[in-house]
Homo-oligomer: A and B are copies of this chain.
Amino acid sequence: MTLHILKVGGKVIDDLALLQPILESFLQKEGKKIIVHGGGKKASELSEKLGIAVQMVNGRRITDAASLEVATMVYAGLFNKQIVALLQSLGGNALGLSGADGNVILAHRRPVKEIDYGFVGDLDQVNAQAIHRLLNADFTPVFCAITHDGQGQLLNTNADTIASSLATAMSTLYEVKLYLCLDKNGVLSNPEDDASVIPSMNAADYERFKAEGIVYAGMLPKLDNAFDALRQGVKEVIICGPESVCYGGGTVIYQD
B residues in contact with A148, CB < 8 Å:
84-85, 88
Specify which chain B residues have a CB less than 8 angstroms from the CB of A49 in the assembled complex: 49-50
Within 8 A of B (CB), among A132-155: 133, 137, 139, 146, 148, 150-154
Q: A73-B74, A81-B146 are in contact. List 7 more A-B contacts (CB 8 A).
A: A72-B77, A72-B82, A73-B78, A76-B76, A77-B80, A102-B139, A137-B137
Q: Which residue of B77, B88, B98, B154 is within 8 Å of A150 (Cβ)?
A: B88
Asked if A96 and B94 make an inter-chain contact with CB atoms under 8 angstroms apart, the answer reads no
Q: A84–B98 contact, CB under 8 A?
A: yes
Partner of A94, one of B81, B95, B100: B100
Kindly supply a per-residue 1/0 record for chain A positions 81-111, scoring 1 wherever the CB is within 8 Å of any chain B CB and 0 otherwise: 1101110110001111010111100000000
List chain B residues, Cβ under 8 A from A16. Answer: 152
Q: Are B88 and A93 in contact (CB-based, < 8 A)?
A: no
Q: Is A183 an interface residue (CB 8 A)?
A: no
